[in-house]
Amino acid sequence: MKKAITCITCPIGCRILINIINGEYIFSGNKCKKGEEFAKTELTSPVRSLTTTVKTIFPGMPVLPVRTKGEVPKEKLNDIMRELSCIIVTEKINIGETVATNVSETGCDVIATTPILAD
């Protein structure tokens, strides 16, 4: 089986070709070791960072930008979005403060990326 992906680990964006023979991965096109690691992870258990917004009760800021504190399994993204759609921030919050803990049982928290300073 052959597969091609673009590495997103660094700004170079190498086009990595993966040839899978008898369960063994053969990589080509990557300019560094990080590309090979990224490609293997992408094939076996892909992860992503998630950025989105959650609702607030503040008229001056009806939504709050948030992100996952780390990477989460790609297959959990829809579950996380459903969970976050039910959250309404009711208190002022600073950058980096937790909005949701262990979101969708991933072990990853969701944090604010913008403060809510005023009503």
**In this structure, what CATH number is given to the domain that contains residue 56?**
3.10.530.10
pLDDT higher than 90, residue 96:
yes
Residue numbers of the domain that contains 24: 2-44
pTM, whole model, 2 decimals? Answer: 0.82
H or E element in which residue 49 lies? none
- Say yes or no: 25 and 7 in one domain: yes
Statement to judge: residues 32 and 78 lie in one domain? no
The answer to whether residues 61 and 36 belong to one domain is no
In this predicted model, what pLDDT tens digit does every residue of 2-38 receive, in sequence order? 889 999 888 999 999 999 888 888 999 999 888 989 9
- Are 40 and 68 in a shared domain? no
Q: In this predicted model, what pLDDT tens digit does every residue of 35-91 receive, in sequence order?
A: 989 998 998 899 999 999 999 999 999 999 999 999 999 999 999 999 999 999 999
Q: With 60 as the cut, is the pLDDT of residue 119 above it?
A: no
Verify that 39 and 55 share a domain, yes or no.
Answer: no
Do 91 and 106 sit in the same domain of this protein? yes
Contacts of 109 (CB under 8 A, 6+ apart): 68, 69, 98, 99, 100, 101, 102, 103
- Residue 58 covered by a domain: yes
Backbone phi and psi for residue 36, each to the nearest 5 degrees, phi listed first: -65, -45
Spatial separation of the C-alpha atoms in residues 37 and 114, rounded to whole Å: 32
What is residue 46's predicted lDDT score, i.e. its pLDDT? 93
Asked whether residue 66 is domain-assigned, the answer is yes
**Are 65 and 38 contained in the same domain?**
no
Q: pLDDT value at position 117?
A: 79
